[in-house]
Amino acid sequence: MNTRLVAAAAVLLVVGAAGCSSKPAALGGTTAKVTINGESTGGPHPVRCSQSGWLWTIETPDDEKGFVADLDTGDAVTVQAVTFSDFGGFTGNFWRDNIGEAEVTGAGGKFVISGSADGSFVDNPSNAVTATFRIEANC
């Protein structure tokens, strides 16, 4: 058999196999450590991070129990909204200039978001509370 043909077939086989393999995980992973009222929610929790223009969204993959944080990274990095859904037993919201207070430090996918959100805890849903939170996200 022609050695050039054998070599070309071997290259195609390797390239084809490489194209079917899965991507390696991002170095360090995409995770977040979260506290509510100073209490750890476990973790680190897996998060999905996405960017569209100046808007960064950091969210847990579970829609029923998790959080979503939206950050504006334009002229200054600011927190636009944070929503907790039965996360660490808390359901509540921060909305910039409307509900609660929040600030963010960091850039380039590493953010620390801290503030307060209005809502309630699962064990007493009729009792409205303001809870403090801290999210350390590594996107």
Digit-coded pLDDT (tens) for 17-31: 333 333 333 444 799
Domain annotation covers residue 83: yes
Examine the pLDDT at 10 and tell me if it is beyond 80.
no
Domain annotation covers residue 30: yes
pTM of the predicted model as reported, rounded to 2 decimal places: 0.78
Domain annotation covers residue 125: yes
Per-position DSSP letters for 52-112, written without gaps between them: ETTEEEEE-S-SSSEEEEEEE-SSS-EEEEEEEEEETTEEEEEETTTBSEEEEEEETTEEE
Q: Which two tokens stand for residue 29?
A: 């992973």
How many domains does the chain contain in total? 1
Domain annotation covers residue 78: yes
Q: What is the pLDDT of residues 54-97, one digit of tens each?
A: 999 999 998 789 999 999 998 889 999 999 999 999 999 999 99
pLDDT class of 116 with cuts at 50, 70, 90: very high
Percent of the chain with pLDDT over 70: 80
Instruction: Return the amino acid letter for 84.
Output: F
Percent of the chain with pLDDT over 90: 70
| Mean pLDDT calculated for residue range 94-122 | 95
| Mean pLDDT calculated for residue range 97-111 | 92
Domain annotation covers residue 8: no
- Residue 2 CA to residue 104 CA, distance in Å, equals 64
Domain with 120, as residue range(s), is 25-138
Domain annotation covers residue 11: no
* CB proximity list for 65: less than 8 A, separation 6 or greater: 85, 86, 87
Backbone angles phi and psi of 5, in degrees to 5: -65, -40
Domain annotation covers residue 13: no
Domain annotation covers residue 20: no
Cα–Cα distances (Å) from 92 to 44, 115, 137, in that order, read 20, 12, 19
Which candidate, 137, 138, 119, places its Cα nearest to that of 37? 119
Which candidate, 33, 31, 34, 64, places its Cα nearest to that of 48? 31
